Amino acid sequence: MIRVMVVDDSALVRKIATDILSADPEITVAATAANAEFAIAKLDRERPDVITLDLEMPGMGGLEAIRRIMSVRPTPIIVMSAHAQKGADFTLQALEAGAVDFVLKPSNSLSGGIPAIARELTEKVRDAARIVMAPPTSLSIPHEAQAEAALAEAERAATPSAPVAAPPFDGEGCDLVAIGTSTGGPVALKMVLTQLPGDFPVGIVVVQHMPPVFTKAFADRLDSVCAMRVKEAESGDPILPGRVLIAPGNWHITVTRFGVEPKVALNQSDPVNGHRPSVDVLMRSVAREYGSRAVGVIMTGMGKDGAEGLRELYARGGRVIAQDKNTSVIYGMNKEVVQNGNAHEVVPVDQIAFRLRAHARGGSAARSAI
């Protein structure tokens, strides 16, 4: 049984959230709290597996509450707040502080929007309950020599995932990097992208499962801390060296090399694997257009989105990098790729940027891992 604590200053929200979660036979609401102080006081006694938390409360605010909970009893936290829709940046800060996911309250009346969020909230609580929390650690950005040593150790410990018959990666660099991720992705992407230089020689296209209201705020937030330029993609945007294009929420993104310069295109065809944007949609287009001249990266997230697209990229000679289990919030999407035998490299999140730099420049570091 999954034990949940619901924290919100609204009695109505607490009741509705309790009713939603209690309807699932595998979930019980072990406790509720009207503010963060009460919630923290109940942690040791109630020992919840998951906490749903409002960000905008009197007294201790949501961000401080997340930090305090992570310091005294790390617990998966799902942000559930009306403030999130008008303050996407606030919710992104909550994810950086330690929250694992978020659910938007409906924009008009909460009670009228319950059917729209009930399934999502229940599914995200189930997913969060699988996460094994640990006290937060600071993953420092490694110097290149340290990165090479850490990578060598990771490769010695890893089980090779590439069959002997796999098409070889040419080792001469790449023309595009494509990244897919979901739960835990905002923090993981920030770590990867902030380690890349502003003159990174190829463009990067990203699918992060995220609602429309958040993707622009997420791109803007990354742009403010990265040396590379980061923007929410628009259809027709050119793929340029030193630039990252983030798929907008509710839009699939594909790449094309037709014409004068490579570009991205957006469409609203049916969701794939329950997602729009879908990592599979992106990776299939990358496989068709770039083949062996692309590197695909799959990171933390629940489910299997990206597995089939990366299978195709792998078969066409592209390089596939998967984030390892130990640094993933949820080892799901990346696990699927690894278990399928379609990952050439399985590395910690703080080594992914180093590998991308190696492949993009086509140096000896890239060839040594092949």
Q: How many helices (H) and strands (E) does the chain have?
A: 14, 14
Give the pairing type, strands 243-246 and 203-208. Answer: parallel
- Any idea which residues carry the catalytic annotation? 182, 209, 305
Which tokens go with 235? 């259809």
First-residue to last-residue Cα distance in the chain: 45
- Tokens, residue 39: 């919630």
CB burial of 123-158 (b: ≥16 within 10 Å; e: otherwise) equals: ebbebbbebebeeeeeeeebeeeebbebbeebeeee
Instruction: Give the separation between CA 307 and CA 336, rounded to whole angstroms.
Output: 6
Instruction: Please list the helix, strand and coil fractions of the chain in percent, rounded to the nearest 5, in that order.
Output: 40, 20, 40
By CB atoms closer than 10 A (0-12, 13-18, 19+), residue 94 is: buried
User: Position of tokens 């060296």?
Assistant: 241
Query: What Å distances lie between residue 62 and 51, 186, 303, CA to CA?
Result: 12, 18, 28
CA dihedral (111, 115, 4, 336) in degrees, to 10, reads -150
